[in-house]
Amino acid sequence: MSKRILVVEDQEDNRRIVRDLLTSAGYELLEAATGEEGVRLAESHRPDLILMDIQMPVLDGYEATRRIKGTDGLRQIPIIVVTSYALSGDDAKARAAGADAYVAKPFSPRELLAKIRQFLP
Amino acid sequence: MTSLASWTRPNRIRDLLVESVARVPARVQTKLLAAFLTIVGLLIVLGAVGLSVLSGINDRTDELIKLQRKIAAYRQVQHDTTSQLYGISTALLSPDDRMLDAALRQLNQFGYDLDRLEFVAKDEAELLGRVRREYKGFIDVVTNVVDLIRSGNAAEARKKQIEKAGPLADRLERLTNQLVNIAEADMVGAIDATEGAYRKSQFIVIGFVLGSILLALGLGYVISWSLIEPVTEIGAGLRQIAAGDFTQRVRIVNRDELSTLAADLNRTSEELGRLYQQLEAASRHKSEFLANTSHELRTPLNAILGYTELIQDNIYGEVPEKIREILDRVQSNGRHLLGLINDVLDLSKIEAGQLTLSIADYSIKEVVQTVVASTESLAAEKKLLLKADVAEDLPSGEGDERRITQALLNLVGNAIKFTETGEIAVHAAAVNGAFEVAVTDTGPGIAAADQQRIFEEFQQVDSSSTRRKGGTGLGLSISKRIIEMHGGRIWVESELGRGSVFRFTLPLRPGIGRASA
C-alpha cells in the first residue's frame, strides 16, 4: 500500500507541482488549501507525512503544525515545513512549532523528494 | 576649582533670586538696562554722600577757624587788660597831663576791643556783660582817679586807685582769663567733634562703597545666571535633538527673548520628531513593500521553476532534446531572476536596518567547505581548479554562519564567473583576533580606478558583463554589508591582467553594537 502524504498549501500551482511530483513518485496525495482543512484532514485520514506551507491566510503553517503536534495520535506524523523566506529565521520558528524538517522556497522538486524519502523510505 | 564649585553649587536663595529675575516679563535688554541704571544710581548716591561729608568737614573747619579767631581776640583783650592796667597804674603815679590823656585813650581802646568781642563771642554774652560792667566800673574809678590827680588830690587818688581800681583790674583780668579758658575748651571740644565726625563720615562712605559693590555684584550675578541657565537648558535641548531624541522639551521660567527661543526650539524639535516619524514610517513601508513584492514575485516564479524541473524530469512525458535545451535556458534565466529578487530583498532589509544577525559559534573551516562544496560543480564546468587552504586548529568564531557563508559564496561565485582559465584559491587563517579570508583568482583583474566602485550596488567593471556573466551586481555590496555588520572589512588587491585577491577580515568576537549596523 502506497504511503499517503497530506499537502497543506494555499497556492494552487504549488499544490499541483507537488501533486504531479509525488504521484509520479508513487505516493498517494491528500490536499488541503487552508490550515484548518489541513488539521481536519490530518485527524480524519491520519497521513504518513505532512507537507506544510507556512504562508497561509487565517491559520498559518506554524499554528497548524502546533495543533497537529498537540493532538494525541497525530503527534508522530512527520511534518516538513515549507517556508518562503529562507533568511528570516523561519527554520528556528518551524522547529519551535514542532516541525520535523524544513524546506525553504524556492525548493527544487528533486530536493523535496529527497527530503520526503528521508522520512518515508 | 573649589571656588568655582561653590559658585555653581545650587542654593535655594540664589535659585529663588535667579528665578524671580528670570520670571520678570521684560526683554533682556530692559533687564540689563535696569541693572546698569541701578548701578549708576548707586554711584550718584555715593557721590552725593561724599559731597555732603565733605561739606560737613568744611563746616567743622570753619568752626575751628572761628574758634581760633575768638581765642586770638580773647587773648588780645587779656593782653590789653593787663597792659592797660599797668599803664594806667604807672600813669596815675606821675601827675602829667599827657600821661593821663594817654591812659584815658587806652581805656577807650579797651572799649573798642570789647566791642570787637561782641562779634566773635556771641555765645558768652553773660560773661561779656560782666566784663562790660566791671569795665564800666573800672572806667568810672579811673576817671575819678584822674579827676582827683588833676585837682591835685594825689593822696586821695592813690588811695582810690589802690582800694578800687586794683581789685577791679584783678577781676577784669580773671574774667578775660575765664573767656580764654572757655574758648580753649571749646576748641578742644571742636577738634574732638571734628575727628568724631570724620570717623563717622569714613564709616558712612566705606559702608556705602561696600554696599554698592555688593549690590552691583549681586545684580550682575543674578542677571547673568538668569540668562546662563536658560541658555544651558537650550544648549542641552539642542544636543538632545542632535542625538536624535525629539521627545524632550526645554522648560525655562524666563519670559523674555530666551523663552521665545526655547519655544521655537521646542517647536522645531516637535516638527523634527514628526518628520522623523514620517520618515521612519516611509522607510518601514518601503521595506514592507519590497518584502511583499519579493514574495509576490517569487511565488509565481517558484511555480515556473517547479514546473520546468518536472518537465525536465520527464514527469509529464519524454522531452525532445531540442525542447530540453530551451528548458535549460528557461530554468537558468528563472534562477537568475530569483537571485535578483533575493538580493534586492536582502539589500533592502540591510538598508532598512531590519537584517539582524543570528550570532552563534561557527567554524570558518566549515564555512569554506560549504562554499567549496556548492561551487565546485560550477568550477568544474569551466575546467577551473578550485582549491581551499584553511589553516589548522583555527578557533571558532562568533557570528551569523549563514550570512558569512553567503558573503564568501558571493566572492567565490564571482571569481568562478569572471575567470576563464586557471584556478580559484580560498585561503583562511586567524590573525590578531580575526579571521582573514582571501579568494584569489587568475581572472582578468580589476583596474585601480574600479576597485572601490565594484562594492557599490549594481556596479560591475564592465556593465555589459552583467548580462554576459550573469549575477546581479548586488553580491559584492551585500557581502560588504554582511562583513561590516560583523565588524570586519573587505577589500580587493588586483592589477589588470594579473588576477584579483578579494580579502576580508572577521573579528572572532564581533561587538554586539555592530550587529544591526
pLDDT average, residue stretch A26-53: 94
Q: Which of B235-239, B255-259, B303-307, B316-320 has the lowest mean pLDDT?
A: B255-259
Q: What is the pLDDT of residue A84?
A: 67
Classified as helix, coil or strand, B233 is helix
Widest CA span in chain A: 39
- The string of DSSP letters for A67-88 reads HHHTSTTTTTS-EEEEES-TTT
pLDDT average, residue stretch A2-11: 92
For residue A85, pLDDT over 90 is answered with no
Q: What is the pLDDT of residue B128?
A: 80
Confidence of residue B92 (pLDDT cuts 50, 70, 90): low
Residue A6: beta bridge partners?
A30, A50
pLDDT average, residue stretch B474-488: 90
Q: What is the pLDDT of residue B115?
A: 77
Q: Does A118 touch chain B if contact means CB atoms closer than 8 Å?
A: no
Contact call for residues A88 and B346 (beta carbons, < 8 A)? no
Closest by CA position to A98, among listed A32, A52, A59, A31? A52
Residues of chain A in contact with residue B295, where contact means CB-CB under 8 angstroms, are: 55, 84-85
Q: How many helices and strands, by DSSP H and E, does chain A display?
A: 5, 5
Count the alpha carbons within 13 Å of B28 in the hemisphere toward its beta carbon: 14
Q: What is the pLDDT of residue B95?
A: 64
pLDDT average, residue stretch A59-76: 91
- Please indicate whether, in this complex, the C-beta atoms of B310 and A109 are within 8 angstroms of each other: yes
For residue B418, pLDDT over 50 is answered with yes
Q: What is the pLDDT of residue B470?
A: 54
Measured between CA atoms, the residue of chain A closest to residue B354 is A88
B94: number of Cβ within 10 Å: 10
- Please indicate whether, in this complex, the C-beta atoms of B303 and A11 are within 8 angstroms of each other: yes
What are the pLDDT digits (tens) for A28-40?
999 999 999 999 9
pLDDT average, residue stretch B30-56: 87
Confidence of residue B124 (pLDDT cuts 50, 70, 90): confident
For residue B305, pLDDT over 80 is answered with yes
Closest by CA position to B410, among listed B479, B364, B336? B479
What are the pLDDT digits (tens) for B420-456?
999 999 999 998 889 999 999 999 988 888 888 888 7
User: Percentage of chain B with pLDDT > 90?
Assistant: 23
Q: What is the pLDDT of residue B98?
A: 78
Residues of chain A in contact with residue B305, where contact means CB-CB under 8 angstroms, are: 106, 108
For residue B26, pLDDT over 90 is answered with no
Confidence of residue B2 (pLDDT cuts 50, 70, 90): very low
Residues of chain A in contact with residue B309, where contact means CB-CB under 8 angstroms, are: 108-110
Q: What is the pLDDT of residue A89?
A: 62
pLDDT average, residue stretch A8-12: 91
Contact call for residues A87 and B346 (beta carbons, < 8 A)? yes
Q: What is the pLDDT of residue B61?
A: 87
pLDDT average, residue stretch B351-368: 83
Q: What span, in angstroms and rounded, lies between the C-alpha atoms of B446 and B462?
A: 10
Q: What is the pLDDT of residue B517?
A: 35
Classified as helix, coil or strand, B322 is helix
Q: What is the pLDDT of residue B304?
A: 92
Structure letter (DSSP) for residue B454:
G
Between residues B381 and B8, which one has the greater pLDDT? Answer: B381
Name which of B299, B316, B346 is nearest A87 (Cβ-Cβ): B346
Between residues B160 and B84, which one has the greater pLDDT? Answer: B160
What are the pLDDT digits (tens) for B134-143?
888 888 887 8
Q: Which of A42-51, B112-121, B125-134, B391-400 has the lowest mean pLDDT?
A: B112-121
- Please indicate whether, in this complex, the C-beta atoms of B306 and A17 are within 8 angstroms of each other: yes
For residue B516, pLDDT over 50 is answered with no
The mean of the pLDDT values for chain B is 83
Name the range with the highest mean pLDDT among B174-183, B418-427, B461-470: B418-427
Q: What is the pLDDT of residue A21?
A: 93
Residues 51-80 of A with CB under 8 A from B: 55
For residue B300, pLDDT over 70 is answered with yes
For residue B205, pLDDT over 90 is answered with no
Closest by CA position to B461, among listed B451, B471, B476? B451
Contact call for residues B392 and B430 (beta carbons, < 8 A)? no
Residues of chain A in contact with residue B402, where contact means CB-CB under 8 angstroms, are: 87
For residue B79, pLDDT over 70 is answered with yes
Q: What is the pLDDT of residue B511?
A: 66
Q: Which runs of E-coded beta strand occur in B107-249?
A: none
State the Rg of chain A over Cα.
13
Residues of chain A in contact with residue B287, where contact means CB-CB under 8 angstroms, are: none
Secondary structure of B403-414 in HEC code, one letter for each residue: HHHHHHHHHHHH
- Please indicate whether, in this complex, the C-beta atoms of A13 and B315 are within 8 angstroms of each other: no
Confidence of residue B3 (pLDDT cuts 50, 70, 90): very low
Predicted model pTM: 0.51
Between residues B457 and B137, which one has the greater pLDDT? Answer: B137
- Please indicate whether, in this complex, the C-beta atoms of B299 and A11 are within 8 angstroms of each other: yes
Q: Which of B288, B292, B302, B331 to mutate to test the interface with A (most CBs of A within 10 A)?
A: B302
Q: Which of A45-59, B66-80, B182-196, B267-281 has the lowest mean pLDDT?
A: B66-80
For residue B155, pLDDT over 90 is answered with no
What are the pLDDT digits (tens) for B382-405?
999 999 999 888 899 999 888 899
Q: What is the pLDDT of residue B4?
A: 46
Q: Which of A39-53, B104-118, B239-253, B409-423 has the lowest mean pLDDT?
A: B104-118
Residues of chain B in contact with residue A17, where contact means CB-CB under 8 angstroms, are: 303, 306-307, 310
For residue B514, pLDDT over 50 is answered with no
For residue B189, pLDDT over 70 is answered with yes
Contact call for residues B396 and B362 (beta carbons, < 8 A)? yes
Q: Does A34 touch chain B if contact means CB atoms closer than 8 Å?
A: no
Instruction: Kindly state the helix (H) or strand (E) to which residue B151 belongs, with its residue range.
Output: none
Contact call for residues B300 and B326 (beta carbons, < 8 A)? no
Q: What is the pLDDT of residue B458?
A: 62
